[in-house]
Amino acid sequence: MNQTADMIIIGAGIHGVSLAFHLAKRGFKPLVIERNTLACAATGRSSGLVRMHYDLEPESRLAWESFQYFRDWENRVGGDCGFTRTGFIQLVPEGFEAQLKGNIAMHQRIGIPSLLIDAADVRRLAPAFETGDIGLAAYEPESGYADPSASTSALMTAARQAGARLLQGANVTAIRVEAGRVVGVSSSEGEFDAPVVVNAAGPWAAGVAQMVGLDLPITTWRHDTMFIQRPWELRLGHPTVIDNAHSMYFRPETGGLTLVGLEDNNPLGESPDGYTDRAQPGFVERAIERICLRIPIMERAALHSAHGGYDGITPDQRAVLGQAGPQGFYLQCGFSGTGFKIAPAVGACMAELIVDGRASTVDISPFDPQRFEQGKLLKGEHDYGDIWH
Ligand X SMILES: Cc1cc2nc3c(=O)[nH]c(=O)nc-3n(C[C@H](O)[C@H](O)[C@H](O)COP(=O)(O)OP(=O)(O)OC[C@H]3O[C@@H](n4cnc5c(N)ncnc54)[C@H](O)[C@@H]3O)c2cc1C
Binding site for ligand X (CB under 6 A): 10-16, 33-36, 40-43, 45-49, 171-172, 200-204, 208, 223, 225, 309-311, 333, 335, 337-341
CB of 48 to ligand X, least distance (A): 5
CB of 43 to ligand X, least distance (A): 3
CB of 322 to ligand X, least distance (A): 15
Q: Which is nearer to ligand X, 188 or 233 (CB)?
A: 188
CB of 98 to ligand X, least distance (A): 26
| 137: amino acid identity, one letter | A
Exposed, middle or buried, 119 (CB in 10 Å: 0-12/13-18/19+)? Answer: middle
Q: Which is nearer to ligand X, 155 or 298 (CB)?
A: 155
Q: Which is nearer to ligand X, 136 or 253 (CB)?
A: 253
Q: Which is nearer to ligand X, 136 or 220 (CB)?
A: 220
Among residues 252, 267, 358, which one has the least CA distance to residue 310?
267
Q: Which is nearer to ligand X, 286 or 341 (CB)?
A: 341
CB of 334 to ligand X, least distance (A): 8
Describe the crossing of helices 148-161 and 343-356 by its angle, rounded to 10 degrees.
30
Sign of the torsion formed by the C-alpha atoms of 50, 53, 54 and 57: positive
Q: Which is nearer to ligand X, 17 or 92 (CB)?
A: 17
- DSSP one-letter code for 274: S
In the three-class reduction of DSSP (H, G, I as helix; E, B as strand; rest coil), residue 97 is classed as: helix
Q: Which is nearer to ligand X, 33 or 295 (CB)?
A: 33
CB of 35 to ligand X, least distance (A): 4
> What CA–CA distance (Å, rounded) separates 170 from 163?
20
Pairing mode of beta strands 49-50, 172-178: unpaired
CB 197 within 8 A of CB 181: no
CB 192 within 8 A of CB 31: yes
Q: Which is nearer to ligand X, 38 or 136 (CB)?
A: 38
CB of 76 to ligand X, least distance (A): 18
> What CA–CA distance (Å, rounded) separates 150 from 82?
7
In the three-class reduction of DSSP (H, G, I as helix; E, B as strand; rest coil), residue 365 is classed as: helix
Among residues 103, 109, 92, 96, which one has the least CA distance to residue 381?
103
CB of 75 to ligand X, least distance (A): 22
Q: Which is nearer to ligand X, 15 or 230 (CB)?
A: 15
Among residues 376, 319, 314, which one has the least CA distance to residue 353?
319
> What CA–CA distance (Å, rounded) separates 178 from 281?
48
Distances 376 to 177, 198, 203, 331 between C-alpha atoms, Å: 29, 23, 23, 18
Instruction: Give strand pairing partners of 45.
Output: none
Distances 333 to 272, 284, 362 between C-alpha atoms, Å: 14, 29, 17
CB of 132 to ligand X, least distance (A): 27
